[in-house]
Amino acid sequence: MSRLASTGSSVSISNKGKRVTSSALANSQGLAVFDLSRFDKQIFSKGEFAFELNGANTVIFNVDEASLSFASNFLNGSATQLGGKAIWNFYNASSLNISNQFGGTILAPLAKLTHHSSIEGSVLVNQLDQRGKINLHKFTGDITSAVPEAQSSAMLLAGLVLVTRAVRRRPVQKTRA
């Protein structure tokens, strides 16, 4: 996914530098890709994130930061709205720290994720320090037009391996008779 070119989706900063607005431009299949690699990681510490989906049914945010702290508020219920439509692809991340409610699938297979509030979506990471809820949203987007079959099979396999690892690492709770 990190090699997907932007579909022309744009990001702007307004409200005296406090609000980041992501405006989707979807292709004919309804896919919008944001390439956030050209932005300084400070965009993730702005106070507010607003999203204009403009009819996009699948949104991919490619982020190349190795270490990231995200402290923005998702405005107008957009965390829930993005829960089943967005994939945040943190393909270089080794450390993620999310302080506020977050929306969309977090794909960061190399990262340790620490989150302090709710996540509306799925989480695929190497390590998880869970201090808030994860409200699983079924992914309703369509990435088949964006990712060739071999890559999507590899991604599915990698996701299954990570989920299996996470389940094996969970401590078994013993009950008293």
In a domain, 84, yes or no: yes
The domain in which residue 144 lies consists of 10-169
Task: Say how many domains are in the chain.
Answer: 1
Q: Is residue 5 part of a domain?
A: no
**What integer pLDDT is reported at residue 25 of this predicted model?**
96
Give, for 129, the enclosing helix (H) or strand (E): strand 123-130
Residue 138 in domain = yes
- 3 inside domain: no
Q: What is the pLDDT of residue 142?
A: 87
pLDDT at 131: 94
Rg of the chain (C-alpha set): 16
Per-residue pLDDT of the chain (177 residues; tens, 9 = 90+): 899 999 999 999 887 788 999 999 999 999 999 999 878 777 888 889 999 999 999 999 999 999 999 888 999 999 999 999 999 999 999 999 999 999 999 999 999 999 999 999 999 999 999 999 999 999 998 887 665 555 556 776 677 666 666 655 656 555 555
pTM comes to: 0.81
The reply to whether 111 falls in a domain is yes
Give the model's pLDDT for residue 158. 73
Instruction: Report yes or no on 97 lying in a domain.
Output: yes
In a domain, 136, yes or no: yes
Report yes or no on 22 lying in a domain: yes
Q: Which residues of 62-95 are buried (b: 16+ CB within 10 A; e: fewer)?
A: bbbbeebebebbbeeebbbbbbbbbbbbbbbbeb
